[in-house]
Structure 1
Amino acid sequence: MIEHRETGSLGVVLNRPSEVAVHDVLPSWGPHASKPQAVFVGGPVEQRTALCLAALRTGEQVADIDGVVGVSGPVALVDLDGDPESLIPKVRGLRVFAGYAG
């Protein structure tokens, strides 16, 4: 669970990789996705939307990094419209999620 409000919730399924490779749908992010480098099923309800979660490296702070929003501890939501090259040195892993979790 990423966020829960009266108006709705946002969550992901952590253990359901799809057959779709991240580089097939988000070429600039593909090489940086954690293995398996697949889009994971179970994300936003909107089918044309994906979200990305990253685990920040020890010592990195969400407030110091453009294009991320803190979720909990070292876990942050990543703006997939941003430049992955500036973010990658600050994270130890990332995963992309899409498709309704149910």
Structure 2
Amino acid sequence: MDDLFADRLFNAFERNDPDPGTLLLAAPDIADHRFSRSAILIIENDERTTYGVDLTQFTDAAVANVFPEIDDFCAPPKAVFIGGPVERSSVLALGVVKKGLEQPVERPYFMHLGSRMVHVDLHADPDQYREELEGIRLFAGFAEWEPGQLDAEIENGDWFVTPALPSDILAGRNADVWGQAFRRQAGELSVLSTFPADLSMN
């Protein structure tokens, strides 16, 4: 199949900017198989870099063995996720603040990403924020793009930019974050949620 979507019909949809707190959903026929069915939460996007973490891939590494101080309020599965192919030895944390928490943007240990989603500073004492979070998740590595690179990939139809929900960060072991995110989109874009992971099952 030379071109799964002919002239990339879905390129015609209105596009959102990949701002912090948005999701990058991989097109079903994305050429880079490392990102097959990926849902990447954007953490930063400026003139220098764009980076985020993949919410879909977890490892067998237990959080208790990596950062035991947060294990008690880590969202299940209590495993380290693979955030992306860059700097796998580094660990980033995303959290969801509890409903009713006033102005998470004013906490020095949180970088507010929109809604109740925050990037958590792991250098801070967990006792400062454990009572403020509904859950936290750790990611080894991240996905990163040079200036202009992601825009070109979006223009090519490799990624769709959609709003993220706090539940995307805390999704459980059997959740299909990629499929669920497509499913809640309007119109024809929701059809992509039915695309099978294995084409032989189609």
Please indicate the TM-score interval, normalised by the length of the shorter structure: 0.7 to 0.9
Aligned to 1:35, the other structure's residue is in SS state coil
Residue 132 of structure 2 corresponds to residue 90 of structure 1: yes
1:57-93 CA-partner distances (Å, limit 9, x unpaired): 1121213433111111110111111121221111111
**Partners of 1:30 and 1:57 in 2: how far apart?**
17
**Partners of 2:107 and 2:54 in 1: how far apart?**
25
With CA pairs under 8 Å and 6+ residues apart, which has the higher RCO, 1 or 2?
A: 1
Task: Determine which structure has more spread, i.e. the larger CA radius of gyration.
Answer: 2
Which residue in 1 is equivalent to 2:48? 7
1:26-48 CA-partner distances (Å, limit 9, x unpaired): 12122221000001001482233
Aligned to 1:2, the other structure's residue is in SS state strand
Cα root mean square deviation, aligned: 1.9
Aligned to 2:69, the other structure's residue is in SS state coil
Q: Answer whether contact 1:68 1:77 (CA < 8 A) is retained.
A: yes
**Partners of 1:22 and 1:58 in 2: how far apart?**
24
Percent identity between matched residues is: 33
Which residue in 2 is equivalent to 1:22? 63
1:63 to 105, 109, 112: 105
Q: Which runs of 4+ in 1 moved over 3 A?
A: none
Gaps of 5+ in 2: 1-41, 145-202
Residue 80 of structure 2 corresponds to residue 39 of structure 1: yes
TM-score normalised per structure 2 = 0.46
TM-score normalised per structure 1 = 0.86
**Partners of 1:22 and 1:9 in 2: how far apart?**
26
Gaps of 5+ in 1: none
Describe the shift of the 1:33–1:44 C-alpha distance in structure 2 as closer, same or farther (beyond 3 A): farther
Q: Answer whether contact 2:93 2:139 (CA < 8 A) is retained.
A: yes
**Number of residues of Structure 1 aligned to a counterpart in Structure 2:** 102
Shift of 1:94: 0.9
